[in-house]
Chains A and B, each alone.
Chain A
């Protein structure tokens, strides 16, 4: 079956612009996670969605970052007024449930802010 897909695979933007990153989780997975992978910071949790519950946003680094998940499936991560320190690979993962089950990762979106 299809795995987690993300788009775009690469995004280059200018400082100050807004960007949207998309994630399509594996069909039937109720939990969806966003992580960020950057040099010097490793892999960091950003936000988590589980079913219809309110998302856990505790990992978002600033209020410029937001995410939504429509219909319990596709998710969009939005970064407003991008800064150079936002440059990283943004990873999406999904799992059957949020109780510590295996998370399946997408290929990521490489964001470069000039």
Chain B
């Protein structure tokens, strides 16, 4: 079965600090990879995605992620965080279903708190 691991459950940073959130997945086939963000009181929103091509993908709000196939990793980064980045971040990978659709398998999430 596919699985996604996020190593950091809680991260506390000061504004302007750099951020890197780890994500590793276990799946031997072709994957699509996603980072979703859930701001307090809001629903899940897509931050960025990787389907193919350049393994360094850029998303909204200055976030980026690098797909390293050999390490089965898709770490999320931001050079300088802001207080407004306080949220919970979820890494996700698609997985094939019998009828050729793709559910998402999510990591456990990382709660980021940015201190002003």
| Chain A residues at the B interface, C-beta cutoff of 8 Å | 31, 33, 35, 42-45, 48, 50, 53-54, 56, 58-59, 91, 93, 98-108
Tell me, in angstroms, the Cα distance from A104 to B45 when the chains sit together. Answer: 7
* CB-CB under 8 A for A102 and B34, given A42-B109, A43-B106: yes
Instruction: Out of A45, A48, A53, A54, name the residue touching B105 (CB < 8 Å).
Output: A45
- In the complex, what residue of chain B is closest to A43 when comparing beta carbons? B106
| Chain B interface category by residue count | 20 to 34
Residue of A nearest to B32 (CB): A100
- Tell me how far the C-beta of A45 lies from the nearest C-beta in chain B, rounded to whole angstroms: 4
Q: Which residues of A contact B102 (CB under 8 A)?
A: 98-101
A43 CA / B46 CA spacing, docked (Å): 15
Max chain A CB contacts within 10 Å: which of B32, B44, B94, B103?
A: B103
